[in-house]
Amino acid sequence: MKSKIKALTSDASARTFSRVLINKKYKILVSAKKNKYSNLVAYAAINKFLRDKKFLAPKLFSHNYKKGTILIEDFGDLSFHKILIKKKDKLSIYKKLVNLLLNIQKIKPEKKIKNIINKSHSVENYSLKYLEKESNLFFDWYLPLVYKKKKVLSIKIKTKKILSKIYKKLYFTNSHFVHRDYHSQNLMKVGNKIGILDSQDALIGNPAYDLVSLIDDVRINTSEKLKNSIYTYYINNTTSDHKINKQFFLNDFNILSVQRSLKIIGIFSRLYKRDKKDRYLKLIPYTWKLLELRMQSRIFSELKNILNSNISKKTRNFFLYK
């Protein structure tokens, strides 16, 4: 068996990817030295779960868990992010991605699914614990980049209490399969189909979360008008109860967008500080803009006041110039 290997650009995870040519067919070799369970076992398990439900996720060809590798299907290089940044009529593309999301949300979630090490992979609920743990990344990684320890602690104590109250205002229960990173870079054009990548963090959660990931995608700057059009298209085409409870769904959308933006600012700061991946810093100022956009509702007044009184516009835009 002859093979040829070409390293690919890594993502924000601890994985590395290589395109392998084996007997004239390309496959992707995924390697992970850290978090092997999440990056390999959970990934392969969720992919199989999606495939069993007739969605296009990478097929698993082989695995070597001890060495930290899996060999999966190659979906090529054409992500919908690449398509969107060149397309003038972005809404028509987003409608296709929303249609796929609507179909995914019809899946009946399963708590236990089989994985590659002959055990069950647990798909957990997107609980309050998860929401708080994720937004804590903002305090633990971003704030220490821009402020001294004493100020970080002061902001953290006040803000965490407020966020906890906000998260408790979520209306919809954890009832849907949530990909958790449903954005244009993780959606691939594979012929006439859409391939789904990066599904290892999937949970059972709020129906608004994946819509937030798609609309408030920090990697592609879209107008507020387009964001509203995508949101309206989703609401008009869903058959779930959140179509009836529009105000409650919008409430959840805004809360989860704020939570996600705080998490992402923290993750990008961690990638820079811990993993020496500085290319994500330039995305932080736009993530702040998304955070500001979604904090217009009254329920965010306390949070908005604390952030505005402690973190200036200059600080928020600092990494534009790094």
Does the pLDDT value for residue 2 go beyond 60?
no
Phi, psi angles (nearest 5°) of residue 14 = -90, 10
Same-domain check for residues 195 and 216: yes
Domain that holds residue 232: 80-321
Phi, psi angles (nearest 5°) of residue 29 = -95, 115
Same-domain check for residues 57 and 102: no
Tens of pLDDT, residue by residue over 200-215, are 999 999 999 999 999 9
pLDDT at residue 5 in the model: 63
pLDDT at residue 262 in the model: 98
Q: What is the mean pLDDT of residues 247-251?
A: 94
Domain boundary pick from 73, 99, 121: 73
Does the pLDDT value for residue 128 go beyond 50?
yes
Same-domain check for residues 261 and 313: yes
Tens of pLDDT, residue by residue over 271-316, are 999 988 888 999 999 999 999 999 999 999 999 999 999 999 888 9
Q: What is the pTM of this model?
A: 0.93
Q: Which whole-number Å values give the CA distances from 157 to 37, 140, 161, 295, in the listed order?
A: 33, 12, 7, 20
pLDDT at residue 9 in the model: 63
The CATH number that applies at residue 30 is 3.30.200
As a whole number of angstroms, the distance between CA 205 and CA 109 comes to: 9
Q: What is the mean pLDDT of residues 7-21?
A: 76
What 3-state class would DSSP assign to 68?
coil
**pLDDT-derived band of residue 1, with 50, 70 and 90 as boundaries?**
very low
The CATH number that applies at residue 243 is 3.90.1200.10
- Which tokens is 308 given? 């505005």
Same-domain check for residues 199 and 94: yes
Same-domain check for residues 241 and 157: yes
Domain boundary pick from 55, 73, 91: 73
pLDDT higher for 117 or 74?
Answer: 74
Same-domain check for residues 35 and 146: no
Domain count, the chain: 2
Same-domain check for residues 107 and 182: yes
Tens of pLDDT, residue by residue over 210-244, are 999 999 999 999 999 999 999 999 999 998 777 77
Tens of pLDDT, residue by residue over 136-182, are 999 999 999 989 999 999 999 999 999 999 999 999 989 999 999 99
Same-domain check for residues 101 and 36: no
Phi, psi angles (nearest 5°) of residue 23 = 50, 50
Nearest Cα neighbor of 69 from 15, 19, 105 is 15
Domain boundary pick from 16, 46, 73: 73
Same-domain check for residues 15 and 114: no
What 3-state class would DSSP assign to 112?
strand
Q: For residue 167, how many C-alpha atoms fall within 13 Å in the half-sphere facing its CB?
A: 20
